[in-house]
Structure 1
């Protein structure tokens, strides 16, 4: 499930980029495209799809020997935009892994793009979790998620969303 605009935009510009052997394609996904959590399966699936599209396109460009076309994959942790307001990891862990400020994510992403970095994960612990997910058995990852509170981090967000929807329905009934 890749956002169709990303595919259409890429298809529109890629032929000229290949012809000129020049350009830079940036895919903004999420850490939830590298590892998932309960309650937002559709969101995670779309981010997994964006990462898969990015990786496949990277291989295609490398196979065409076009070294002038750069690619950067951006995978931030929770960004404080209000989109997932209420999302919470374990309270003892949260001071060490707070939501990221949008300005910080932009700065880190731009630095990665300008230095032709293939991938940027913020904070850096996302790299470690992704590596651990690749090495450890699934049950060990489940234990780690539970320890961090990441297994149910979206539940408060989903409860707030449900309450808001119920309140809106009640107002419509009046």
Structure 2
């Protein structure tokens, strides 16, 4: 099995490089990668991003510039995951299709969120911690819950009391 070296642009910081798994991916200049992160082949991370510890970016994920990924965020790329084909043989690369995910510039994804295959997250969007994103998220939307629903907009920064109310609604 051939291991594909990652492409790391200038100024990429990898905390504890021996505790990450990066192969065949591209990480943009100035980005920071936390411990226990896996970024698979054909995944792209833009410039000045932060990928926090224990996050998983699978093949087909595109993270645009300035994106924050919280701890333990999981991206998926298969609509119908299965270990075997219909005839019972173990699936190979040609037995399934990657459904790409795109995360727009300056979006923020809270810890332990799960982003399902084929989803686009808009520019400046905010995904609440623990959310399960099953469909596209518009630019500047705030989403939370399981499944994730729109609860606000990042265009309007709420006062502290409003922020507490939004957090309570997300629970």
TM-score bin, normalised by smaller chain: under 0.3
Structure number with greater Rg is 1
Taking structure 1 as the reference length, what is the TM-score of the superposition? Answer: 0.25
RCO (CA 8 Å, sep 6+): is it higher in 1 or 2? 1
Higher strand fraction (1 or 2): 2
Taking structure 2 as the reference length, what is the TM-score of the superposition? Answer: 0.25
